[in-house]
């Protein structure tokens, strides 16, 4: 159901017109005449609709924005967004209807004498569907608006999207509840030897089916949906990306199940780990390291802590216990509505477009607590992921599936 039909007291209600007004206020403060958004995260945050095709939002200094998306999807986006169909236009390969013609038609009225500042979204990312303005798009737009100045302005949206409102938080909670249903379905299927005829792709599929039945819109991760790894694949060196393969599950091997669900652009992302049938003492030693580390990690997240402070503590603990060689030294990635993934906080760190390790978390920020334990020489590894909400004195881990490594 589109958000435009949600009542203000609905737990998933988000005040999107207010978001637009807050962008417009920042545009005025930054001398930006018109904002051209192209990133997936910006589209989700402003539109309340999933835009899988290249799309743009043009935000004027006041009034409603207009979106252009591929014509085959414009009616669906309009159906789901709070904006009406007059503000969601389709583009296509026709005279006057291509991306550049439509964008210049929407932007030019706000450039006095052709001059003015256009806020754009450019940069660099390790997340492929980020959606920065491409060089070609920039060159074409500059050619039709030669007197305009283009200014990178994505910080406006990034700052505003950093602290999550109640509707967003509730959407993440619901997505996480759905992910837990997926985990239960996996557990029920693999327990008591049920895993014996299964492959990784089958695990991914049965989890997806359970989550879709519970209302998930898709297994949102660009890393192949539900990530499943078994055997040596759980312990790939420094590895934390395992799209499910056709590998058969085998007795005595580890199994990592990393599920993703989406609810109204809120994202569930939780991993659980198993041993299939039996486990050796050495395997259980690794598992205990991992579980203890995760308990410690989840106790550490709170307002005021930074990625570097947390990493120092976790790596110190790993060294004390003798498993530092197996720990990938990163403990989180950023998260927001669909398309906002990876970088924590703002683009203000020592390496452009990477997390600033000194970023201090604030109340109501969200992140994915993400830890990878990998021991390639023993073909064993575990992953933890869970959306967490930063609170004053702790954090809320949204997926409630019990933290353990189970022998099934």
Partner 1 sequence: MPEKKIKYLSKEWADEVTRRCKKELTPEKMKHITSSMLTINTNCPGSKTKAVYYTLKNGVVESVSIVEAPLPKAEFSITAEYDMFAKISKAEVKARSALMSGKMVLKGNLVKALTLSPTVDRLNEVIAKIPTEF
Q: How far is the CB of 38 from partner 1 (least distance, A)?
A: 19
Q: Give the residue, chosen from 82, 91, 110, 401, that forms a contact with partner 1 under the rule CB under 8 A.
A: 91
C-beta closer to partner 1: residue 75 or 124: 75
340: alpha, beta or left, given left = phi > 0 and alpha = psi -120 to 50?
Answer: beta
C-beta closer to partner 1: residue 104 or 245: 104
Q: How far is the CB of 37 from partner 1 (least distance, A)?
A: 20
| CA-closest candidate to residue 303, choices 397, 398, 390, 396 | 390
Q: How far is the CB of 137 from partner 1 (least distance, A)?
A: 18
DSSP 65: -
The DSSP code sequence of 195-218 is: GGG-BHHHHHHHHHHHHHHTT---
Q: How far is the CB of 59 from partner 1 (least distance, A)?
A: 19
Q: Give the residue, chosen from 71, 100, 140, 214, that forms a contact with partner 1 under the rule CB under 8 A.
A: 71
Q: Is 64 in the site for partner 1 (CB under 8 A)?
A: no
Q: Is 104 in the site for partner 1 (CB under 8 A)?
A: no
Q: Is the dihedral of CA 295, 297, 300, 301 positive or negative?
A: negative
# binding residues, partner 1 (CB under 8 A)? 17
Please give the Cα distance from 117 to 151 (Å, whole number). 7
Q: How far is the CB of 347 from partner 1 (least distance, A)?
A: 35
Please give the Cα distance from 304 to 68 (Å, whole number). 40
Please give the Cα distance from 253 to 234 (Å, whole number). 9
C-beta closer to partner 1: residue 74 or 228: 74
Q: How far is the CB of 67 from partner 1 (least distance, A)?
A: 12
- The 10 Å Cβ neighbour count of residue 58 is 21
Q: Give the residue, chosen from 36, 89, 148, 267, that forms a contact with partner 1 under the rule CB under 8 A.
A: 89
C-beta closer to partner 1: residue 105 or 214: 105
Task: Extract the tokens encoding 162.
Answer: 């950093």
Please check whether residue 60 is in contact with residue 110, taking contact to mean a CB–CB distance below 8 angstroms.
yes
Please give the Cα distance from 198 to 204 (Å, whole number). 10
Of 88-96, 203-211, 225-233, 390-398, the segment contacting partner 1 by CB under 8 A is: 88-96
Please give the Cα distance from 179 to 198 (Å, whole number). 20
What's the gap between Cα 91 and its chain centre?
27
Q: Is 128 in the site for partner 1 (CB under 8 A)?
A: no
Q: Is 74 in the site for partner 1 (CB under 8 A)?
A: yes
C-beta closer to partner 1: residue 69 or 372: 69
Q: Is 109 in the site for partner 1 (CB under 8 A)?
A: no
Provide the binding-site residues for partner 1, judged by CB under 8 A: 71, 74-75, 78, 85-86, 89-97, 101, 105
């Amino acid at each position: 159901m589109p958000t435009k039909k949600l009542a203000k007291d609905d737990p998933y209600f988000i005040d999107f017109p207010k978001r637009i007004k807050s962008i417009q206020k920042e545009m005025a403060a930054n001398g930006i005449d018109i904002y051209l958004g192209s990133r997936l995260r910006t589209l989700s945050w402003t539109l309340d609709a999933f835009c899988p095709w290249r799309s743009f939002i043009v935000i004027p200094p006041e009034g409603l924005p207009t979106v252009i998306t591929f014509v085959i999807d414009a009616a669906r986006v309009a159906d789901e967004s709070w904006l009406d169909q007059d503000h969601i236009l389709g583009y296509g390969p026709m005279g006057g209807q291509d991306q550049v013609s439509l964008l210049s038609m929407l932007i030019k009225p706000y450039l006095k004498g052709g001059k003015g500042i256009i806020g754009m979204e450019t940069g660099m990312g390790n997340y492929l569907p980020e959606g920065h303005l491409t060089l070609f798009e920039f060159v074409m737009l500059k050619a039709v608006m030669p007197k305009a100045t283009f200014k990178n302005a994505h910080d406006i949206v990034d700052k505003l999207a950093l602290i999550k409102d109640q509707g967003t938080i509730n959407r993440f909670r619901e997505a996480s509840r759905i992910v837990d249903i997926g985990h239960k379905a996996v557990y029920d299927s693999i327990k008591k030897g049920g895993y014996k005829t299964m492959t990784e792709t089958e695990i991914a599929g049965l989890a997806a089916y359970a989550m879709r039945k519970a209302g998930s819109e898709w297994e949102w991760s660009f890393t192949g949906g539900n990530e499943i790894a078994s055997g040596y694949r759980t312990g790939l060196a420094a590895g934390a990306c395992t799209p499910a393969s056709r590998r058969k599950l085998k007795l005595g091997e580890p199994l990592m199940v990393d599920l993703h669900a989406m609810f109204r652009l809120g994202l569930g992302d939780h991993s659980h780990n198993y041993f299939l049938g039996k486990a050796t003492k050495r395997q259980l030693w690794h598992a205990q390291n991992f579980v203890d580390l995760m308990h410690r990690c989840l106790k550490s997240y709170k307002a005021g802590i930074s990625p570097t402070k947390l990493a120092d503590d976790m790596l110190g603990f790993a060294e004390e216990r003798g498993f530092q060689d197996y720990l990938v030294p990163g403990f989180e990635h950023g998260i927001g509505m669909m398309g906002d993934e990876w970088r924590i906080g703002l683009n203000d760190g020592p390496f452009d477009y990477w997390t600033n390790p000194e970023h201090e978390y604030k109340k109501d920020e969200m992140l994915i607590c993400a830890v990878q334990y990998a021991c390639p020489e023993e073909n064993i590894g575990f992953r933890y992921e869970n959306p967490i909400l930063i609170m004053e004195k702790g954090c809320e881990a949204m997926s409630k599936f019990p933290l353990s490594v189970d022998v099934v």
